[in-house]
Amino acid sequence: MESGGSLKARVYYRTNPPEVVLQKDGKDVLSYKTVEELVETHIKGLLASPEQDSRIILDIRKKYRPSSDHSK
């Protein structure tokens, strides 16, 4: 851990099995089949948060479209 109590997190791609992995403090904590799944999960968490900023939520809803909506 860094001084000041900061936690380090990173995302990386694993090839076998193919997945996107979230690592925190050097430990794998979550994995997703696709980047889209990671983003969707993160957005759902933001939307469910009781400390939502309505401007951020509106911006997310304008910008984010699941991969099935790319034709719109």
Summary count for the chain: helices (H), strands (E): 2, 3
The pLDDT tens digits of the residues spanning 5-23 come to 566 889 999 999 999 999 9
pLDDT band, residue 48 (cuts 50/70/90): confident
Tell me the whole-structure pTM to 2 decimals. Answer: 0.60
**What residue spans define the domains of the chain?**
9-64
Instruction: Give the pLDDT score at 72.
Output: 46
Output the DSSP codes for 28-48. EEEEESSHHHHHHHHHHHHHH
Instruction: Give the pLDDT score at 24.
Output: 92
